[in-house]
């Protein structure tokens, strides 16, 4: 249900994302490993231009566990060893990952990356359901904490914590229930936990056997790789975060993580993810 994996491999894994949705996964190790896959090209492709990818401002470094989740979403199982005999891509040099040519996109199986926004109709439906969930939530939250919301975890005691200087609007965000997994990146390890609910402000997870370090105040450097059981899309949020509260029980340790500020594209990615994932509504 949950794991903590140290990240000590020599191979570096990176993703390129649009609206927080990964569209290219690469693994790089100078001077012998430069390979990538995409949803449209799920077979590993050798590309010397990938040696430049770690220096691309929009590339996000991910752990092996996070990279494995991206690959799984494209129907690939990620192994620790690079693919042997992968076909090589002939490209212009130096590589410009911010402005790929048409031939490069074709070779990588990439569709044109449009700027299509979330469907206004579907977004209104999401907002309406969130507002309905918000209206059903008791408004009498403990000072500095969150009101408990009835769901299948309501038997757990509510843990209140000092929210410090967090802006009030962060507390009012209604979280949407999403069954799935969250891969939370820190400096030296990745925590993989069951995903319970999500909003643009943060995420709630549960681990069966959480380490002692997984306590309020623990910081995650990011990124956060989130996957849903009922949908293939993943989102990769390249922001830091920290544990705001935790609560242990026989079912495991529930904990809430507050995200750093998302930019507009990441916020849109969360909205798209919630629309795709659906699920029951909730809040912490």
What digits encode the pLDDT tens for the residues 60-69? 999 999 999 9
Q: How many CB atoms lie within 10 A of CB 115?
A: 8
Specify the pLDDT at position 274. 92
Q: How confident is the model at residue 141 (pLDDT cuts 50, 70, 90)?
A: very low
Q: What is the pLDDT of residue 255?
A: 95
Residue 73 near residue 82 (C-beta atoms within 8 A): no
Q: What are phi and psi of 165, to 5 degrees?
A: -100, 20
Residue 96 DSSP code: -
Q: Of 1-5, 24-28, 58-62, which range is least confident?
A: 1-5
**What is residue 186's DSSP assignment?**
-
How far apart CA 233 and CA 129 sit, in angstroms, is: 21
> What is the rounded distance in angstroms from the CA atom of residue 111 to the CA atom of residue 29?
27
Q: How far apart are CA 174 and CA 279, in angstroms?
A: 13
Q: Map out the domains of the chain as residue ranges.
A: 3-108, 120-277
The CATH code of the domain at 120-277 is 2.40.10.220
Quick one: pLDDT at residue 266?
Answer: 97
Check residue 83 and give its pLDDT: 76
Judge whether 163 and 171 are in contact, CB under 8 Å. yes
Q: What is the pLDDT of residue 219?
A: 95
> Which three-class secondary structure state does DSSP give residue 55?
helix
CA distance 178 to 94: 41
- pLDDT band of 101, cuts 50, 70, 90: confident
pLDDT digits (tens, 9 = 90+) for 261-282: 999 999 999 999 999 887 444 4
Which has the higher per-residue pLDDT, 48 or 142?
48
- Is the torsion defined by CA of 19, 24, 27, 32 positive or negative? negative
State if pTM tops 0.85.
Answer: no
The mean of the pLDDT values for the chain is 78
Per-residue confidence (pLDDT) for residue 107, from 0 to 100? 86
How is residue 197 written in tokens?
């609910």
Nearest partner of 200 among 125, 121, 126, 114, judged by Cα = 126
Highest mean pLDDT among 87-91, 115-119, 239-243: 239-243
| b/e sequence 69-81, b meaning 16+ C-beta within 10 Å | bbbebbebebeee
Averaged pLDDT, 237-258:
92
């Amino acid at each position: 249900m949950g794991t903590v994996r140290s990240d000590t491999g020599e191979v570096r894994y990176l993703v390129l994302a649009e609206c927080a949705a990964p569209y290219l996964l690469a693994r790089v190790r100078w001077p012998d490993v430069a390979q990538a896959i995409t949803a449209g090209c799920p077979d590993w492709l050798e590309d010397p231009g990938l040696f430049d990818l770690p220096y691309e401002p929009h590339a996000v470094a991910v752990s092996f566990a996070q990279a494995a989740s991206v690959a799984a979403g494209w129907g690939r199982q990620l192994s620790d060893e690079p693919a042997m005999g992968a076909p090589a891509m002939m490209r212009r040099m130096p590589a410009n990952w911010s402005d790929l040519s048409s031939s490069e996109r074709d070779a990588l199986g990439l569709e044109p990356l449009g700027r299509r926004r979330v469907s206004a109709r579907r977004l209104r439906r999401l907002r309406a359901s969130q507002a309905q969930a918000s209206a059903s939530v008791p408004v009498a939250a403990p000072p500095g904490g969150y009101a408990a919301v009835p769901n299948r975890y309501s038997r757990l005691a509510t843990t209140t914590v000092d929210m410090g200087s967090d802006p009030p609007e962060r507390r009012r965000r209604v979280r949407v229930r999403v069954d799935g997994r969250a891969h939370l990146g820190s400096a030296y390890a990745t925590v993989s936990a069951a995903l319970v609910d999500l909003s643009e402000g943060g995420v709630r997870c549960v681990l069966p056997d959480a380490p002692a370090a997984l306590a309020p105040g623990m910081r995650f450097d990011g990124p956060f790789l989130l996957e849903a059981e009922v949908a293939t899309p993943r989102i990769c949020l390249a922001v830091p975060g920290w544990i705001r509260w935790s609560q242990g029980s026989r079912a495991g340790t529930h904990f809430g993580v507050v995200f750093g500020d998302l930019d507009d594209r990441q916020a849109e990615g969360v909205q798209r993810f919630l629309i795709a994932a659906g699920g029951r509504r909730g809040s912490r």
